[in-house]
Structure 1
Amino acid sequence: MTDPDLARRIADQFSGRGKRADIWRGFDAFLDTDAFLNLGYSPRYGSHLLGSPQDRLAKLVVAELNRHHRPSTAEDGFPARSAGKLLDVGCGRGGPTYRLGERTPFDVVGIDLVTENVVRAQDGAESSQRRGSDTGLPSFLVGDATRLPFTTGAFSAIVAVDSLVYVPAIGRALDEFSRVLADGGVGVVSDLVADRNAGVPDDDLERFGEAWDMPRPRPRERYLSTMAERGLRVRRVRDLTDNSVGRFRKWSQLYLAVADGPGGGVLERLLRREGLDPDAVTEQVRAAHRALPALRHVLVTFER
């Protein structure tokens, strides 16, 4: 993370401080944000509000990793644990990291910029140990994606679930991915990229990034070429948009119709009653609504 101000804002957003944290408290009502901070994935005809769409995305990442790694299978049906170490970059509160620990053959390490996230993830690991479940439990630490505190070639696999979108110096992060990933290692990244042909003005993408404390989403072509320049060979790109962010615009449209219409006062009072800043929440929803036609949610698999 090269921008100290942005790093501070991200930490505030995910630690319950500052106006950007309010929308996450709103998400608490219908998403499992105690464990998952990533976008979700839902089947074509499934509801994005039933089950845990964020957990479904984590399991999709697991399946993609296992598909390319081709692990052996243990008696319990899960992969045998014999494949080295896996790094989950931007692990958040640990939800996807636990799935990786349960369902892949790796010893898993999660790293996140935000201390509060790592504390929550560690609390989850300790709770699992108290329940007598310690198979595949990850370890967690605080760290920066652009300065990973690991030796060269330390990991057989690397994953980032919707976390690189917050990193302004994406090239430096991918340099680190290439450094810590062993030769022949595999990586899976889910992320938001921009479609240059969607007709969304650059200013709207810039405002979206500002409202959500992230850099402006990068064009898909440039994102993939940046990987290649770092020696990361892209093997597969899967577009998840229709099962993910492609569903969000009808919700943002409904919210803004209420906020900007006769019911706006009622909505404002409801948000304030829940301790949320209606101006901050509406700013973020409006910025997302304008940017959504250009946003693509992709799953990228690569090898070193």
Structure 2
Amino acid sequence: MTPDTAGAPEPRIEGFRYDRIPVTDGGVHLHAAVGGDPGRPAVVLLHGFPQTHLMWRHVAADLAADHHVICPDLRGYGASDKPAEAADGQTYAKRTMAADVVALARALGHERFALAGHDRGALVAIRAGLDHPDAVTHLASLDVLPTLDMWDVMRGTSAAVGFHLYLMAQPPGLPERMISADPDGFFGHFLDVWSASPGAVPPDVRAAYLRACREAVPSIVADVRASAFADVEHDTADRIAGNALRMPVAVLQQDWGAALGFDAAGLWRRWAPDLTHRTVSCGHFMAEEAPKEVTAALRDLLAR
């Protein structure tokens, strides 16, 4: 593992400006990197776990040539606000986090925008597409299944890959204490084993990810805990009602559907009738491991 470098400047997306933008009446602010021409169509890029907005640094720089690109740290992550988890479990529900994203885009002058998310950010993007179909013009998901399907496919020994999800779904207290005992070891584990491209995350970015996670254990746990409870309730209600993503949707995934014995594209089509689904040969951190492939897929989506 790469040791943290005390006093080192925080990495940034080159050419982007940074701001803290209020997104709720209660005063929650999101930290966001913003680049490109504000008069161009907007693309919002949402990061995954255990990362921050920096995971989009290559893709964002390319898209900013002809789009207004907005890369926030999600609520509870990075330099964004981290409100305490409320007893009702809604503080980090994807519905709440999706409303943050819509408010952020509006604050930057966009009533409509394209939305791409990786991992946890993809779950927020899916919920935004379901709850705010008039705002989201196009939607991309990188290496995740919708929440209901994610829990359904993890059975038997195959569920070992998602051990962290089961740990963080436990009631408040135990998972936070366990992870806080060695946060760099816990979060660094995923940076190591989920990547197929050593060096895709350089030392300064890795240190920034670990520093951000170290400072956000309770909110990261609350985000994942919400996926086991509040998010399942919301997705179940949409499934029963027959709600779906009506905008063009692109999905990029590793071929772990085949490895674990399920049809990932088939599961996605239940949620997204206008779907393009493709598998990639890189690891989980595809925006960092294969940024040209990801950028090309997003540009194909935006042209639909």
Please state which band the TM-score falls in when normalised by the shorter chain. Answer: 0.3 to 0.5
Q: TM-score, normalised by structure 1?
A: 0.35
| Larger Rg computed on CA atoms | 1
